[in-house]
Amino acid sequence: KIQKVYGSEILDSRGNPTVSATVQLTDGSMGTAASPSGASTGKFEAVELRDGDERRYGGKGVLKAVQNINEMISPALENLHSLTVREVDKVLIKLDGSPNKAHLGANATLAVSLACARAIAAHYRMPLYRFLGGAAAHELPVPMMNILNGGAHAGNNIDIQEFMIMPTGAENFREGLRWCAEIYHTLGRQLKKKGHSTAVGDEGGFAPNLASDEEAIEEILSAVETAGYSGRVKLALDAAGSEWAENGEYRLPKRGTRFSSDELIDFWEELVRKYPIVSIEDPLGEEDFPAWTKMTERLGDRLQIVGDDLFVTNMERLQKGIEEKAGNAILVKLNQIGTLSETLDAIELAKKNGYKTIVSHRSGETEDTFIADLAVAVNAGQIKTGAPCRTERVAKYNRLLRISEC
Ligand code: PGA
Ligand code: ZN
């Protein structure tokens, strides 16, 4: 049984407050977890509760969410009879009572949900990934590693938010991770030589002041070649296209170009024709389902088309996507929906319908490595957790390395 749940306000990787929760069971088992926080958040995400008190952390404090854990969630969970994560999540969802966790805050519910999973895994003396995934958990994910940042994550002239490398030709996780780290360092040296900044963005990728998105791709391909991995490492992009949507069309904020949905699809087609791009996330806006369907029809055989802001790890939105044949993969972010069980359900729905799954961090992260275990538990196949730089990102890779040796 649960003896106690308590929350606290801690800091994320941007120095903003976030919620941590600890769950203590009557047998002494404990689990702690923290909620991450996005910057380019989708409109349809569950609500991250912030205090809005400008005198503390510029309004970003999470004392209300913490109070909800201590005063509402903890008493509601203390008398729970059957202790499973699903039962805990049911109580959280019911106690919240809103369609989007607006009442308790998804930052509060998620921290508790994940901490419960950890406490129960500790009770069974199982590694988290094994507890979550059972005997079926076996696949280490291919990293989708962000090494160059633009968009809302960097103050440069690049519109696409994330440029990622995928070591698809590597034998195993450890080897793929090494390739990526080598390419990252090669890219750093190359940028420095050309007089560019090697300062990094929120997810650890470099954020040089390059003239265009194409130049960013060229720089990465050149680093891949210099490091000796041409052909064995592919590119993935996250456009974060919802950030570009403006009055029914698209405006790339930095280059200033305007596109209709059709023109934007043409732009992607051209980019995919020119470069070894295997995956594009949020190429279009979160409200533009018809354009997603069109793009999937045109490019879906050649390309992974990933819904992040489009699906927000939400079963209903994913179901709509499946019906309308919009996209062919889902980005999985626990805090978009606010409980572990709902996240697992979304993953299951995706897999049943042939959608690929990518477990993902947020741009604001903590040292919590839950997503590494989750990716292995559900055999997600891919993980997106930033550059091999900034410990909140590297911690996830290190956890995967350790899992790979279990
Ligand atoms: P976010 O960015 O965490 O700031 O939303 C990550 C992403 O868009 O995938
Ligand atoms: Zn995204």
Q: Which atom of ligand 1 is nearest to the CA of 202?
A: 4
> What per-residue confidence (pLDDT) applies to 152?
78
Site of tokens 């407050």 = 17
Ligand 1 center to residue 41 CA distance, Å?
6
What are the two backbone dihedrals, phi and then psi, of residue 174, each rounded to the nearest 5 degrees? -60, -45
pLDDT tens figures, 182-217: 999 999 999 999 999 999 989 999 999 998 899 999
Name the band, by pLDDT with cuts 50, 70 and 90, for residue 82: confident
Q: What are phi and psi of 359, to 5 degrees?
A: -80, 135
Phi-psi region of 247 (alpha: psi -120 to 50; beta: other; left: phi over 0): left
Angstrom distance (rounded) from CA 386 to CA 363: 8
The whole-number average pLDDT for the span 340-351 is: 98
Find, among 371, 323, 290, 284, the residue nearest to 110 by Cα. Answer: 371
Q: Please report the pLDDT score of residue 235 as a whole number.
A: 98
pTM score, whole prediction = 0.97
**Does the annotation place 159 within a ligand binding site?**
no
CA distances from 278 to 193, 238, 273 (A): 29, 11, 11
Point out the ligand 1 atom lying closest to the alpha carbon of residue 331: 9
CA distance 60 to 62: 6
Return d(Cα 65, Cα 68) in angstroms, integer: 5
Q: Position 240: which residue type?
A: A
Query: Which residues are CB-neighbours of 193 under 8 A, at least 6 positions away?
Result: none
For 359-383, what is the mean pLDDT? 98
Per-residue pLDDT tens digits for 110-122 = 999 999 999 999 9
Contact 161, 239 (CB under 8 A): yes
Q: What is the DSSP letter of 136?
A: G
Region 18-33: mean pLDDT is 97
Q: Is the CB of 40 under 6 A from ligand 1?
A: yes
In this structure, the number of other CB atoms found within 10 A of the CB of residue 362 comes to 27
Model confidence at 281: pLDDT above 80: yes
Of 162, 203, 243, 365, which residue is the catalytic one?
Answer: 203
Mean pLDDT of the chain: 96
